[in-house]
Amino acid sequence: MKHLRRFILLIATLSLLFGKSDQYVLLISFDGFRADYLDWYDTPNFDRLAEHGVKAKGMQPVFVSKTFPNHYSIATGMYADHHGLIANTFYDAKFDATYKISDRTAVEDARWYGGEPIWCTAEKQGVKTASCFWVGSESKAGGCQPSVWKRYDHDFPFEARVDSVMAWFNKPEESRPNLVLLYFHEPDNTGHRYGPNSKETEEMVEKMDKLLGEILDKSKSLEIYSRLNIIALSDHGMAEISPERTIRLSDHINMEGVIQEGSGPIAFLYGVDSTRLGKLACDLKNVPRLKVHLKANIPNRLHYKHNDRIKDLLLIADEGWSIIDEERDNPKFLMGGDHGYDNSLWSMHAIFVADGPAFKNGYQIGTFKNINVYPLISEILGITPNSEIDGEIEDIRNILNED
């Protein structure tokens, strides 16, 4: 026993000397998993994770509260206006090109992605990583990719994704990743179609809970289980929308010559001179259920004005309301759920539940920003975070085990 203790002490000392820990992290995203789904619906496996680990009241997304900006903010620890992925779809005048999440060429092109993702930070410091469908991992964002990564396949079965992760953690030590990122596109899809308060979304949330249960059970057979930290989170929440709650801009302003980018919870207007732009802003400020911001006056709390990709005039609909794109949208189909609203809204907040040797036991915290996940993982893995991040480990250090 004494020899074993000496051996463990030696390993711990070497870990400190080389700046790396012997810990492992599995980061799981359940897209569109609203924070209060855990209270609304039956989620025994999320509850099990929280009972033995840490649960946040909620996790605040960055603005805009969309999928790609937030997954990449979680990965980089940066606000959207710093890492540049300002929406799921946007035009870049410098490139004279449009980024679309459905465009495979754009998604795999590193020029669209600023910052340094956590997998790149780790790989540069000799820590192997793997990604199953995480935003940005299919490109050389930050200059590198995970040691193992998969090209996104929406139809790749959830159970097969889990099996891939378990196989990676079962690799020989010299090729085994210490960080694995795993993505599921539910309950977001169902929430969009039926709304957050629907029976269908309830059933999907419970299905995702069972999937988490499978992950927890299968992970127990891993050799590295005693050193594995599992973090289950989401990118954003979901709000109810209705065809009765729509805003048609042409009812209030002359849209001739104006370029509209985006619709739904937010939209940009640009393409006209500053005089006309000021007139548009003034007229739109009288529109109910709509917030209007010239770029220079976008509230600082949104961290969303210091990037050339952000256009001249930002429009934000009130919760549950939708801005119409008259060339694309049919208002009668605007039902179910949506996200992208002001990130201070509770409906936009996401889940965060974690357990493992790095975390306190049965500990609950309030709401924190998702940009803090990057420095959290860096701390657990014993790697030095990139100096340009916006997140702060001190904001959530209290969730870590002090032993």
Among all residues, which ones are annotated catalytic? Answer: 67
Bridge partners of 353, per DSSP, are 55, 232
What's the rounded Cα separation, in Å, for the pair 165 and 176?
Answer: 11
Nearest CA to 380 out of 361, 362, 364, 397 is that of 397
Q: Are 105 and 99 in contact (CB under 8 A)?
A: no
What's the rounded Cα separation, in Å, for the pair 26 and 391?
Answer: 20
What's the rounded Cα separation, in Å, for the pair 385 and 371?
Answer: 12
Long-range contacts, stretch 377-382, CB < 8 angstroms, 24+ apart: 377/25, 377/27, 377/118, 377/179, 377/231, 378/118, 378/121, 380/21, 380/23, 380/25, 380/229, 381/20, 381/21, 381/23, 381/25, 381/122, 381/127, 381/178, 381/179, 382/15, 382/19, 382/20, 382/21, 382/23
* Distances, alpha carbon 55 to alpha carbons 9, 185, 197, 231, 366, in Å: 31, 22, 22, 10, 9
Nearest CA to 296 out of 281, 272, 275, 313 is that of 313
Helix axes 373-381, 67-76, angle to 10 degrees: 40
What backbone torsions phi and psi does residue 253 show, to the nearest 5 degrees?
-140, 160
The string of DSSP letters for 41-77 reads: S--HHHHHHHHTSEEEEEEEPPSS--HHHHHHHHHHS
**Which one-letter amino acid corresponds to residue 379?**
E
Locate 294 and state its tokens: 């010239």
Q: Are 354 and 212 in contact (CB under 8 A)?
A: no
What's the rounded Cα separation, in Å, for the pair 177 and 302?
Answer: 35
E strand or H helix at 119, and its extent? helix 118-124
What's the rounded Cα separation, in Å, for the pair 366 and 353?
Answer: 12
